A = this chain, B = another copy of it.
């Protein structure tokens, strides 16, 4: 299913609280769902701590490699919110309080409440476009191919909704899920490998899960060409029918 010139993406989650296990990430799955819906190939995810050198290194590795990079976390008002400064350093540009971002903060805060901490949320790297935050106003931003979003899932989602119409996408991926039920993976793996080898235009995966009644298996056929997906699916259905009979 891979293709040259595909529109690709990576996610970079920033935050000690995810690495400590204290906060369970919800943003990776949410962003992955949106990218799949619109037809952008998510190729890599990284989670790094609130350490500037780590953020800079990850941003530079990912932005060179993928069409889009989406970050979440680290854009609040406290001392551990260092994402904006790290992005500026990664791109080698300056950063300062942005009048547009400051105006957004004034939609929520009185001028006398815009202390140094809150103004951190208006620090935007030079040359960035803002991403509106309808919930708490402090904006995200886009610099080059890097989209910087909040870590709070509801705000991240609102920012992603804002970004979504602006993204260039591939043809969406068509995905067919075939229930193999209790047929063991080891019984259909050989036949499935042969189908996968014969249908290079699709990707075929097998996903076991444990249920209270034992293992259940699902086979997923994915691709951008509907006819190719349908053809591969028909062969998988036939394979499973043989094994059930």
Contacts and interface: CB of A to CB of B under 8 A. Distances in A.
B44 A47 contact: yes
Given A17-B220, A20-B32, A118-B186, 5 more contacts: A21-B35, A78-B185, A79-B192, A80-B203, A118-B189
A116 B190 contact: yes
Given A44-B47, A220-B17, A77 B29 contact: no
A121 B206 CA distance: 14
A152 B45 contact: no
A242 B19 CA distance: 31
This protein's copies in its complex: 2
A90 interface: no
A210 to B, nearest CB: 5
Closest 4 CB pairs of A and B: A117-B189, A21-B32, A79-B193, A45-B47
Interface in A177-199: 185-190, 192-193, 196-197
Interface in A83-125: 109, 113, 115-118, 120-121
A189 B20 contact: no
A52 B4 CA distance: 17
B205 A136 contact: no
Contact of A29 (B2, B25, B36, B196): B25
Interface of A: 2, 13, 15-25, 28-30, 32-33, 35-36, 42-51, 54, 76-80, 109, 113, 115-118, 120-121, 135-136, 152-155, 173, 175, 185-190, 192-193, 196-197, 203-210, 215, 220, 222
A49 B222 CA distance: 14
Chain A residues touching B, majority SS: mixed
Contact of A196 (B79, B189, B203): B79
A28 B44 contact: no
15 contacts: A13-B45, A17-B205, A19-B32, A19-B43, A19-B44, A20-B32, A20-B175, A21-B36, A77-B186, A78-B205, A79-B193, A80-B204, A113-B186, A120-B189, A152-B209
Contacts of A113: 186
A209 B120 CA distance: 19
A128 to B, nearest CB: 21
A204 B22 CA distance: 13
B206 A80 contact: yes
